[in-house]
Amino acid sequence: MIYLGIETANAPLSVAVVEDGRVIAEIVQNNKVTHSNGAMPAVEEVLQKAKITAAQIDAIAVSQGPGSYTGVRIGVTIAKTLAWTLQKPLIGVSSLQALAANASLYSGLICPIVDARRNHVYTALYEGLTLEEIMIDTHESIDDLCIKLKAFARPVMFVGTDVEQYWDVIEAQLGHLAIRAPQVLDLPRASQVVHIAAQQELPAVEETHRFVPQYKRIAEAEANWIKEQKK
């Protein structure tokens, strides 16, 4: 079973080809190339590295959010287009779960963090080793998150490139219970997206039309429009 994995939900970009659980080729980058310019070339490059054609892909896995509105939309659009064109199943995976999977060998709680601006984050909470979901994907203030995590009275490992900007607040509120994941684990990986997707039942190809991103909040432009309508 050959999967193509796509992860563009946030600033880092990752694309992978995984066959029967083995990573054949993977691109992980965190540079200033926008996903609109870099995502499709990365798909083409990883297929070349894996020495396969698009037609040989059996299924496509994509991180469907939450995260950057533009990043999520680009990844989902590419995945849906490929899935429908190639007539292959499309599986969506939480971008937060895929990020938490990087730290899954940790035996405590795992909290992925993605900046949502204005002191808010996209986050969730998982049990280490099993990745059992303790707190579903959510969008909330960093202060409210710390209050919730403190109530568990357990060590929490924070993972993600955006942890750094909130670390002072996290450490001040959680003290010794806050553990920073090694930065090598901060970049989301498309191979983790595939690993999670492979544990799910493959949907029918026809389900691709109904596949939608999971933004967890409306876009800022839409929020501003709604605000204007209420005046």
| Average pLDDT of the residues in 44-61 | 98
Residue 68 clears pLDDT 70, i.e. is over it = yes
Whole-prediction pTM value? 0.92
Give the model confidence (pLDDT) of 109-122 as tens digits: 999 999 999 999 99
75: three-class secondary structure by DSSP: helix
Is the CB of residue 140 less than 8 Å from the CB of residue 152?
Answer: no
- Determine the residue type at 152: F
Is pLDDT at 222 greater than 50 in this prediction?
no
Q: Which of 134, 192, 187, 130 is nearest to 163 (CA)?
A: 187
Q: Which residue has the tokens 């200033």?
A: 32
Distance CA 216, CA 13 (A): 20
Give the CB-side neighbour count of residue 207, counting CA atoms within 13 A. Answer: 11
* Percentage, residues of the chain above pLDDT 90: 90
**Residue-wise pLDDT tens digits, 129-174:** 999 999 999 999 999 999 999 999 999 999 999 999 999 999 999 9
Spatial distance between the Cα atoms of 27 and 43, rounded to a whole number of angstroms: 9
Three-state DSSP class for residue 25: strand
CA–CA distance, 194 with 62 (Å, rounded to integer): 8
Domains of the chain listed by start with CATH number: 2-95+188-229 (3.30.420.40), 103-185 (3.30.420.40)
